[in-house]
């Protein structure tokens, strides 16, 4: 008797059930979810690619910055030398300006 009970349950499970509105809605929800999942997957792949590109760009920028700092370090003595030359030239210019002013004032005193 128990065997017949199991057989009837198996037969019921094997028989296709009539599609109901709930089953159709569930199938549609699964289809929408699959589409959403695919769209999400595409977005994630794009985000990963973007992160990879940005990391590569950051590494390249850091390398350029290191090279620029090295070049600046190499040029620092030249820059300091040029700054000192500018200071000397400005002092000389001020001295020449003062001498010219004195000469002009002496010329003005002679004209009187």
Q: In a structure prediction context, what are the per-residue pLDDT tens digits for the chain, which is 112 residues long?
A: 555 555 555 455 555 555 566 666 666 666 667 788 888 899 999 999 999 999 999 999 999 999 999 988 888 888 889 999 999 999 999 999 999 999 999 888 887 6
Other C-beta atoms lying within 10 Å of the C-beta of residue 46: 10
What sign has the CA pseudo-torsion 74, 77, 82, 83? positive
Within a domain: residue 10?
no
pTM for this structure? 0.44
Within a domain: residue 14?
no
In sequence order, what are the residues at sequence separation of 6 or more whose Cβ sits closer than 8 angstroms to the Cβ of residue 17?
A: 23
Number of domains comprising the chain: 1
The boundaries of the domain holding residue 70 are: 19-111
């Amino acid at each position: 008797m128990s065997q017949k009970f199991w057989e009837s349950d198996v037969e019921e499970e094997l028989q296709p059930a009539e599609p109901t509105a709930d089953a159709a809605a569930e199938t549609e929800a699964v289809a929408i979810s699959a589409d959403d999942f695919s769209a999400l997957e595409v977005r994630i792949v794009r985000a990963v690619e973007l992160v990879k590109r940005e990391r590569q760009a950051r590494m390249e920028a850091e390398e350029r910055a290191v090279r620029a700092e090295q070049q600046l370090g190499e040029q620092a003595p030249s820059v300091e030398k040029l700054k000192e030359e500018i200071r000397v030239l400005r002092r000389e210019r001020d001295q020449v300006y003062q001498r010219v002013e004195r000469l002009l004032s002496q010329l003005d005193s002679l004209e009187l």
